[in-house]
Amino acid sequence: MDLPPGLVYLLRNLPYFAIPSAVTYASVKVLLHQTNISLSTLVVVLFSLLARPILFLCNIYYSEWADKRAAAAHGAVIAPKVDDPLLSIVSKMAESFRGGYPADIYLQWAKKYGNTYRFNLLNTKFISTLEPDHVKEQESSIQMHTGEMWKFHRAMSRPFFSRERISDFHIYDRNSTISLQMAKKRLSEGYSIDFQDLIARFTLDSAAEFLFGGSVESLSAGMPYPGQESSKNDASLHDHPASIFADSFMEGLHLTVMRIRMGDAWPLEELTGDKVLPFRKAMDVFIDPLMRKALDTREQELLNEKSHDENEEETFISHLVKHTQDPKVIKDELVNLLLAGRDTTMCLLSFAVYMLAEHPDIEKRLRDEIFEKVGAIESPNYDQMREMRYMRAFLNEVLRLYPPVPADSRISTKATVLTTKKSGDKPIYVPANTTYNTSVLYSVTNIHRREDLWGPDALKFDPDRFIDERLKKYFTPNPYIFCPFNAGPRICIGQQFAYHEATFYLVRLLQQFTEFSLDKSSNTPPPAEWASGDSLKATEKIFPMAHVTMYIKILLSFVEVDVMTPSLAPLTLNATSLYYIFQLEPRQGARYDSQANLALYFHYLPPMVIPPGPRYLFGLLPYFAKPSIIVYFALSLFQQHVYSGFPRWTIVVLSLLARPGLFVFDQYYSDWQNQRAAAANEANMAPRVPESSFSLISEFAESILTGHPGEAMLRWAQNYGNTVQFTFLNSTILSTVEPGHIKAFLATQFEAFEKGPVLFSQVESFFGTGVFNADGEMWKFHRAMTRPFFTRDRISHFELFARNCDMSLRTASERLSEGFSIDIQDLVSRFTLDSSTEFLFGGSVNSMLGGIPYPASASKKNPPEFYNHPSTIFVSAFNKGMVFTALRTIRGNQWPLSEFWRDEVTPMRKIMDEFTEPLMQAVLNKRESELAAGILDVKGDAEEETLLEHLAKNTQDTKILKDELINLLLAGRDTTMCLLTFSVYMLSRYPDVEKRLREEIYAKVGSSGNPSYDQIRELRYMRAFLNEVLRLYPPVPINFRTNNKPVLLPPTTPGEKPIYVPANTSCMYTVINLHRRTDLWGPDALEFDPDRFLDERLQKYFLPNPYIFCPFNAGPRICLGQQLAYNEASFYLVRLLQQFTEFTLDKSANIPAPDHWAVADGWKSREQIHPMSHLTMYVKGGLWVQMKEL
């Protein structure tokens, strides 16, 4: 049973109201008992009921004080506050929605309080602005964006608004022909035309056909007659599904917009039932046939194991059902897109015809341009429409004075400041959504009409302002004064569609009709009091209104050229008024428990940055305090009413022991539950490591700081089994080296395993929200966005490898000629960094120009420019940040306790961001220039577009861009750096392997010259060599996943039971130990032998069980850049071996392996260097080698 919104709201907020009263009641009763004061129960109850209202008022005053304090700390001020009482604000807004001029209330407040001001509606803070710079900051700032689901929908819908798709004018031609024929017929009867209704049907049919492949035939329902002749309307007009849809849409918006004036307490006005839901259901009935047809088609494709017919153009809905068959998700998306496709152009065309009626001279100029560029009869094509400069200027001027969405808003997810242009004025401080939501509202209508932004004639309708010198004087220097389709990352992807559709329709209209005039007898006139108002309101001859979009409460009429000249009639909508709505962005993943609110409060309270440890403890305060408080009051009441001999100290001690006792109980109860669940699934739990959790974590940390990569997990596997588990505080960790289990993590049960919230919190300071730290839709979004940049064509462009490789080897040759050894690790890290930046971002950072280091024992020392070069600083910060991040991963969600007073990673990330800033800023400046010039999508060779340029088209948010840059730079640098470093290490130990590699290179490529893509593919022994290096030294030796639901891992031997893994277990798999198992790779697994990837051992071990080799991960998250890494490493080794030979380690410069490794088991005892690992593998102190030139 679905409860009404009001009851749901009250039940959900019951703890919010009840807990303060209950705590107050219990506290007062205990106090009265201790002090022997007598008060009636009624007084205590009344006092308790006042607890929440008092707390609410205190919170308001405290929030005001906290905002002022935070603003001062930022050198800012809070915006002036509307001093009207709350009920007066609610009343004025309701009045504006019911029948006021769109956004007029915000204009009146702006005149009184300034262009930026604030007001509160219950628990929601509003900041309203008319400043274009503030709009720009909102639309380009991460603080105002709304999360990953929007990005996913954006990426999914973008391909359907390409130039090719929106230039298919056959849809417009069919539907405009039908609508204009209907207009001619009605005019011939002597009646005026409900133009807004006519255009709404045209845009609905066109949008449905464009997006979903078939018209809904709303034009077939006919047109309404004017109000005085409404009896002539056929029943089919009102009963047609499209009419029901449109009416339901309007009524639903009318009711939805009224909710805004109540803030988040709107359900209290709908206590007995959801008033909007019936209209949404009526809309769903309309779109059900569209959805069902697409779902049935998809079902048949799946049954027949066929994909979509490539010869048939894919529609948006057929694309959508490939991603989900959930009817609710599909219907929600269809409703959103249908309304967007219908309303934007309907608004634009309705007000365009209104302006034609008011300005006959403009109508004449438009028709002259149409006849010149298109002709008097023909339909326009794409190129002809682009040449109609005055038509575009006309549409822009309509959009300026009557923007489809007259006001919009964003929620601030982080505290920020809005800048001011006036000299001496302080910026405006915008609080985050801590205790309250902070909604930054901007009134597009009023921005578009400001005389100080558009000139003294801003209130005059004049399309020439978008053509003459006023364009460069006002708009070009400040493009955010014109935002009819929004701006920034959320700019309407359908704006060119709207321009094309409106232009096409107006061309066909003006080829056939002239002398447009309003039918005053049928139009709803504007209210009489508007005549004494200011701005355009005083001169309006119609009744413009707004819900989400603007519309006209009138009917427009027009006359056919040389046929007749009847007057126009008003639009007859349902006479009930419609109201304006702010599009408030929901808080993604919002939580209302006290723990989350407390944590948010301290996280966002500026300017003081609370260290990780105290912030973590503050977040846990409710976790520890609640049991103690409950036990204390329970025992106090027990002492008062049952047994008075209970000592007070006993109550205090038992209360303090409540959380530890509950924790211990929870551990045993959780174990019992898990064992029971395992038994129910005929499975076993993984063996538990019978050692102290703290000793295990200490051993793990030691292996990262000083040990051999993976040695702690190797000991666990040798002593307790290949898959084991242990618990650290409240975190369960499972460790495995079983390929079947790794296959489950990465492929067969991929949907159940993700990075998880714990790992996200551990590495967020370093990776941000980039691809390596994303799950779900955000990961899919990043993956889909980056995949095109790793195609064969792109990774086969070896020119950049050649440039950077030549510089690298020339630098090596010069240093060797001085008589010093070379740090190969530093040399190849600079090569890979320069190659990665050039490949992904279009320009090298030229780290090789910073020079390479001298050995510590050398007579020459590194010059200051070596240490001061940006790339050296970047690499140093990167390495330190990786070590600290790796240490976090072994400490579960308690990692803040190890960085109690200082976040060790964030300072390193800031240094790295300074390195990426020039790369990002250059592309952002270029993109801003394109947007300012109205270039929405730069055409050209897609192969020449860099990934950063592609990213900047999707977002201008600096945090998202920097996160993605860091993620991709680290991937591009570290994987190949690790591979090449350990490759040279193996060459120094195996001269026979070096000899075979050179022989193959000379045979396939030659003794000089760069290898081609096809030649590299023929180097079979080179590929086997690289695979053998990756087997013994995988770039990422340890990796993690977290299961979002309970899973069963397959048994490793026949007859065994599967392993049950409870939900939210941190699953660690050690790739380096997997790669060295003799039972998986044969008895010679600890020998370096590239031939194992060529001879019968390949068939015997690897091919039957490919998950024994995972250097680049596997499954859906397999590294996109693995072929780039193979190509880059192969290219470098070819050029290296063409020029150098006799690779030997410089023992005087290298840091040797610890002495105790020599008596250890396995490969570790043979190490001549000190390999280590943070998140990726590296050689401690570098790999110093000598080599001779050929």
SS3 sequence of 146-189: CCHHHHHHHHHHHHHHCHHHHCCCHHHHHHHHHHHHHHHHHHHC
Position 1107 scores a pLDDT of 94
pLDDT, average across residues 225-248: 75
DSSP letter assigned to residue 834: H
Least confident window among 76-85, 172-181, 1102-1111, 1155-1164: 1155-1164
Closest CA to 979 of 1087, 1154, 1136, 1101: 1136
pLDDT for residue 569 is more than 50: no
Q: Are 851 and 732 in contact (CB under 8 A)?
A: no
CB-count burial class (<10 Å; 0-12, 13-18, 19+) for 1053: exposed
Count of alpha carbons within 13 angstroms of residue 189, beta-carbon side: 14
Position 149 scores a pLDDT of 61
Least confident window among 360-369, 867-876, 969-978: 867-876
pLDDT, average across residues 346-360: 93
The verdict on 335 and 472 lying in the same domain is yes
pLDDT for residue 715 is more than 60: yes
Q: What angle in degrees, to the nearest 10, is found between the helix axes of 495-512 and 360-373?
A: 100
Least confident window among 57-66, 337-346, 778-787, 798-807: 778-787
Q: Does 866 fall in a domain?
A: yes
Q: Are 1180 and 1171 in contact (CB under 8 A)?
A: yes
DSSP letter assigned to residue 1108: G
Q: Identify the domain boundary among 560, 595, 628.
A: 560
Give the phi and the psi of residue 884 in degrees, each rounded to 5: -65, -40
What does each C-alpha distance from 983 to 155, 1031, 1034, 1070, 1150 come to in angstroms?
Answer: 40, 11, 11, 21, 16
pLDDT for residue 368 is more than 60: yes
Q: Are strands 124-129 and 437-443 parallel, antiparallel or unpaired?
A: parallel
The verdict on 143 and 250 lying in the same domain is yes
pLDDT for residue 511 is more than 60: yes
Position 1190 scores a pLDDT of 87
Least confident window among 310-314, 411-415, 1110-1114: 310-314
Least confident window among 735-744, 793-802, 1012-1021: 793-802
Strands, E, within 1114-1159: which ranges?
Answer: 1140-1145
Instruction: State the DSSP string of 279-298.
Output: HHHHHHHHHHHHHHHHHHHH
Position 156 scores a pLDDT of 63
Position 310 scores a pLDDT of 47
The verdict on 442 and 520 lying in the same domain is yes
CB-count burial class (<10 Å; 0-12, 13-18, 19+) for 813: middle
Least confident window among 286-300, 586-600, 674-688, 840-854: 586-600
CB-count burial class (<10 Å; 0-12, 13-18, 19+) for 376: exposed
Position 573 scores a pLDDT of 26
The mean pLDDT value of the chain amounts to 81
pLDDT for residue 398 is more than 90: yes
Position 1032 scores a pLDDT of 96
pLDDT for residue 1078 is more than 80: yes
Closest CA to 107 of 450, 617, 484, 546: 450
Which residues span the domain enclosing 223? 118-560
pLDDT, average across residues 369-382: 92
Q: Does 799 fall in a domain?
A: yes
Residue 941's pLDDT band (cuts 50, 70, 90):
very low
> What is the torsional sign of CA 231, 235, 237, 239?
positive
The verdict on 387 and 263 lying in the same domain is yes
pLDDT for residue 561 is more than 50: no
Quick one: CA torsion of 49, 51, 55, 57, rounded to 10 degrees?
50
What does each C-alpha distance from 373 to 386, 506, 1062, 1102 come to in angstroms?
Answer: 10, 14, 70, 68
Q: Are 759 and 1038 in contact (CB under 8 A)?
A: no
Position 433 scores a pLDDT of 60
Tokens 């749901």 correspond to 8
Q: Are 724 and 735 in contact (CB under 8 A)?
A: yes
Instruction: Give the integer Cα–Cα distance in Å for 1092 and 1081.
Output: 9
Q: What angle do CA 798, 800, 801 make, to 5 degrees?
A: 65
Count of alpha carbons within 13 angstroms of residue 438, beta-carbon side: 25
CATH, residue 984: 1.10.630.10
pLDDT for residue 1127 is more than 60: yes
Q: Identify the domain boundary among 515, 542, 560.
A: 560
Q: Does 13 fall in a domain?
A: yes
DSSP letter assigned to residue 349: H
Position 162 scores a pLDDT of 65
pLDDT, average across residues 897-923: 82
Higher local confidence (pLDDT), 927 or 517: 517
Q: Are 772 and 967 in contact (CB under 8 A)?
A: yes
460 Cα distance to chain centroid: 41
The verdict on 393 and 497 lying in the same domain is yes
Q: Which residues contact 484 (CB under 8 A, 6 or more apart)?
A: 396, 399, 400, 403, 404, 405, 444, 448
Instruction: State the DSSP string of 838-875.
Output: HHHHSS---GGGG--PPPTTSSS---HHHHHSHHHHHH
Residue 80's pLDDT band (cuts 50, 70, 90):
very high
Residue 840's pLDDT band (cuts 50, 70, 90):
confident
Position 579 scores a pLDDT of 20
Give the phi and the psi of residue 178 in degrees, each rounded to 5: -60, -45
pLDDT, tens digit, 9 for 90 and up, residues 580-638: 222 222 223 333 232 222 222 222 223 346 777 777 777 777 777 788 888 888 888 87
pLDDT, average across residues 116-131: 83
Q: Which residues pair with 273 in a beta bridge?
A: none
Most confident of 134-138, 530-534, 979-983: 979-983
Element (H, E) at 987: helix 958-989
pLDDT, average across residues 644-668: 82
pLDDT, average across residues 880-901: 78
Q: Identify the domain boundary among 542, 560, 578.
A: 560
Position 148 scores a pLDDT of 59
3-state DSSP of 711-758 = HHHHHHHHHHCCEEEEEECCEEEEEECCHHHHHHHHHHCHHHEECHHH
3-class SS of residue 262: helix
Residue 741's pLDDT band (cuts 50, 70, 90):
very high
Q: Does 222 fall in a domain?
A: yes
Least confident window among 99-103, 142-146, 339-343, 649-653: 142-146
Position 823 scores a pLDDT of 95
pLDDT, average across residues 165-184: 85
Element (H, E) at 124: strand 124-129
Higher local confidence (pLDDT), 290 or 556: 290
pLDDT for residue 644 is more than 50: yes
Least confident window among 455-469, 639-653, 858-872, 1093-1107: 639-653
Position 141 scores a pLDDT of 45
Q: Does 54 fall in a domain?
A: no
Position 892 scores a pLDDT of 67
Higher local confidence (pLDDT), 296 or 941: 296
The verdict on 335 and 198 lying in the same domain is yes
Higher local confidence (pLDDT), 557 or 108: 108
Q: Does 664 fall in a domain?
A: no
Higher local confidence (pLDDT), 213 or 173: 173
pLDDT for residue 309 is more than 60: no
Higher local confidence (pLDDT), 904 or 982: 982
Residue 1084's pLDDT band (cuts 50, 70, 90):
very high
Q: Does 212 fall in a domain?
A: yes
Higher local confidence (pLDDT), 741 or 299: 741
The verdict on 145 and 31 lying in the same domain is no
Least confident window among 12-16, 259-263, 378-382: 259-263
Number of domains forming the structure of the chain? 3
The verdict on 305 and 451 lying in the same domain is yes
Q: Does 316 fall in a domain?
A: yes
Residue 565's pLDDT band (cuts 50, 70, 90):
very low
Position 841 scores a pLDDT of 76
The verdict on 268 and 392 lying in the same domain is yes
pLDDT for residue 512 is more than 50: yes
Position 967 scores a pLDDT of 81
Instruction: Give the integer Cα–Cα distance in Å for 382 and 402.
Output: 26
Q: Are 1175 and 850 in contact (CB under 8 A)?
A: no
pLDDT for residue 434 is more than 50: no
Residue 772's pLDDT band (cuts 50, 70, 90):
low
Instruction: Give the integer Cα–Cα distance in Å for 219 and 240.
Output: 10
Residue 899's pLDDT band (cuts 50, 70, 90):
confident
pLDDT for residue 731 is more than 80: no
pLDDT for residue 457 is more than 90: yes
Least confident window among 3-7, 309-313, 600-604: 600-604
pLDDT, average across residues 703-716: 83
pLDDT for residue 325 is more than 90: no
Position 349 scores a pLDDT of 94
Least confident window among 683-687, 1000-1004, 1112-1116: 1112-1116
The verdict on 872 and 988 lying in the same domain is yes
Position 924 scores a pLDDT of 79
pLDDT, tens digit, 9 for 90 and up, residues 992-1039: 999 999 999 999 999 999 999 999 999 999 999 999 999 999 999 998
Residue 669's pLDDT band (cuts 50, 70, 90):
confident
